[in-house]
């Protein structure tokens, strides 16, 4: 099966149906068992609430436009705005129907390659976008901890003893942050410090008998990575300011979606703490085995943010959050995908 067929196989009805079925099951449970509808009926609606929900939709647009702008910057505007929209929507679509621990990286490589980027340039671009995302986290967490401390950042007392070791949310968060920091260092080394060493590592890996059929292709990918890395290292500081600024804007908009959802229903006393809890929650979602974190995300919302929701409405707001921030990508991706396949096959 060639790469195109493998990608098409990923976007089958079954693959799309799995997260929808899981999500609907979790949503029904949360709305039936974990939602106090009497409390919902007693809510006093106001223009403030509607304005906040409008801002939520605006933030979702900002998130995606910032991603589109970033990919245009990283490709030196090789991709048009329309092509950037297709790439980002399909990338998000792939992430939504694959487990969070896998993500949509493999599909992103295929999409970028079909949009006219070489295999090496596509690989380097995906690595750089990953690096920028990791750097956002590496930089933001210490700042938030500096202002908040850790006393209220880990509100959930979830502990489990495995082989004599006690695992807690705080411990998992520290491990996740350490892994993110390590990954950032590895990508930085491979792209900016020693791309030739990264190429040689690829060649060593693909000299294995099971992988040797792709050795020649990986040698070309390695050469492209070295060339692209040299081009990136020569970019002016303004280039990186734009790329990281777009990353910062996109992730900030992503997290503030929850802040404004909460604000639509109840006063929020400490927005920075809500933001900080989401940073912790993101680590838990990152290792989710379900497509797009479906099911895990809704329960994580309840666990981490129930302190900020009206009593009895944490489940309802968790479902609302996912309806706004997750399911639209399934719909948009399903619309964009057939047209995109027709375009790249011409």
Listed in sequence order, the residues at least 6 apart from 69 whose beta carbon sits closer than 8 Å to its beta carbon are 84, 242, 246
- Contact between 295 and 99 under an 8 Å Cβ cutoff? The reply is no
Instruction: Reply yes or no on whether the pLDDT at 25 is more than 90.
Output: no
Q: What is the pLDDT of residue 324?
A: 93
Q: What is the pLDDT of residue 8?
A: 64
CB atoms within 10 A of CB 26: 21
d(Cα 88, Cα 84) in Å, to the nearest integer?
Answer: 6
Q: What is the pLDDT of residue 86?
A: 93
**Most confidently predicted of 4-13, 37-46, 172-181, 206-215:** 172-181
Indicate the SS3 state at residue 160: strand
Q: What integer is the mean pLDDT of 80-86? A: 93
Closest CA to 65 of 270, 338, 247, 283: 247
**Residue 163: band (very low, low, confident or very high) from pLDDT cuts 50, 70, 90:** very low
Q: What is the pLDDT of residue 156?
A: 59
Q: Which of 66 and 125 is assigned the larger pLDDT? A: 66
Q: What is the pLDDT of residues 103-119, one digit of tens each?
A: 567 788 888 888 888 87
d(Cα 117, Cα 221) in Å, to the nearest integer?
Answer: 12
Q: Indicate the length of the chain as a whole number.
A: 346
Q: Scanning the structure block, which residue is given the tokens 């400490």?
A: 270
The backbone torsions φ and ψ at residue 247, rounded to the nearest 5 degrees and listed phi first, read -65, -45
Q: Scanning the structure block, which residue is given the tokens 């403030």?
A: 48
The per-residue pLDDT of the chain, averaged, comes to 83
Question: pTM for the whole thing?
Answer: 0.85
- Contact between 144 and 279 under an 8 Å Cβ cutoff? The reply is yes
Q: What is the pLDDT of residue 158?
A: 52
* SS3 track for 18-71: HHHHHHHHHHHHHHHHCCCHHHHHCCCCCHHHHHHHHHHHHHHHHHHHHHHHHH
DSSP of 7-32: HHHHTSHHHHHHHHHHHHHHHHHHHH
CB atoms within 10 A of CB 254: 19
Q: Strand 165-168 and strand 159-162: pairing?
A: antiparallel
Listed in sequence order, the residues at least 6 apart from 268 whose beta carbon sits closer than 8 Å to its beta carbon are 259, 262, 274, 308
DSSP of 151-174: TTT-----EEEETTEEEEHHHHHH
Q: What is the pLDDT of residue 7?
A: 63
Q: What is the pLDDT of residues 296-331, one digit of tens each?
A: 888 888 888 888 888 888 888 999 999 999 999 988
Q: What is the pLDDT of residues 245-293, one digit of tens each?
A: 999 999 999 999 999 999 998 888 889 999 999 998 888 777 777 777 7
The span from the first CA to the last CA of the chain, in angstroms, equals 20
Q: What is the pLDDT of residue 184?
A: 87
Closest CA to 179 of 253, 282, 90: 282
What is the radius of gyration, based on Cα positions, of the chain?
A: 21
Indicate the SS3 state at residue 270: coil
DSSP 3-state percent helix, strand, coil across the chain (nearest 5): 75, 5, 20
d(Cα 138, Cα 178) in Å, to the nearest integer?
Answer: 9
Among residues of the chain, what percentage have pLDDT more than 70?
A: 90
- Contact between 248 and 70 under an 8 Å Cβ cutoff? The reply is no
Q: What is the pLDDT of residue 103?
A: 59
CB atoms within 10 A of CB 42: 10
């Amino acid at each position: 099966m060639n790469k195109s067929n493998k990608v098409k196989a990923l976007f089958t009805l079954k693959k799309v149906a799995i997260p929808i079925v899981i999500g609907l099951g979790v949503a029904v449970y949360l709305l039936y068992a974990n939602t106090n509808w009497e409390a919902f009926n007693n809510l006093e609606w106001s223009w403030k609430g509607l304005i906040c929900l409008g801002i939520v939709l605006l933030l979702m647009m900002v998130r995606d436009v910032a991603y589109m702008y970033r990919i245009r910057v990283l490709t030196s505007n090789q991709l048009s705005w329309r092509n950037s929209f297709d790439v980002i929507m399909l990338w998000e679509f792939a992430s939504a129907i694959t487990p969070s621990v896998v993500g949509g990286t493999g599909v992103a490589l295929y999409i970028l390659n079909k949009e006219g980027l070489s295999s090496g340039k596509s690989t380097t671009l995906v690595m750089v976008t990953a690096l920028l995302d990791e750097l956002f986290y590496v930089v933001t967490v210490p700042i938030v901890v500096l202002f908040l401390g850790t006393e209220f950042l880990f509100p959930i007392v979830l502990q489990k003893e495995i082989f004599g070791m006690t695992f807690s949310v705080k411990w998992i968060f520290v491990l996740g942050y350490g892994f993110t920091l390590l990954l950032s260092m590895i990508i930085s080394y491979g792209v900016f410090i020693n791309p030739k060493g990264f190429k040689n590592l690829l060649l060593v890996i693909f000299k294995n008998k099971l992988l040797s059929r792709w050795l020649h292709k990986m040698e070309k990918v390695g050469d492209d990575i070295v060339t692209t890395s040299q081009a990136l290292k020569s970019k002016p500081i303004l280039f990186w300011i734009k790329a990281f600024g777009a990353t910062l804007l996109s992730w900030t908009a992503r997290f503030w979606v929850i802040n404004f959802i909460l604000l639509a229903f109840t006063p929020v006393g400490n927005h920075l703490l809500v933001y900080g809890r989401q940073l912790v929650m993101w680590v838990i979602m990152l290792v989710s085995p379900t497509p797009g974190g479906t099911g895990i995300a809704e329960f994580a919302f309840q666990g981490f943010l129930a302190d900020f929701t009206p009593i009895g409405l944490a489940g309802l707001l968790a479902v609302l959050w996912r309806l706004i921030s997750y399911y639209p990508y399934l719909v948009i991706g399903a619309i964009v995908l057939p047209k995109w396949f027709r375009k790249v096959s011409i």
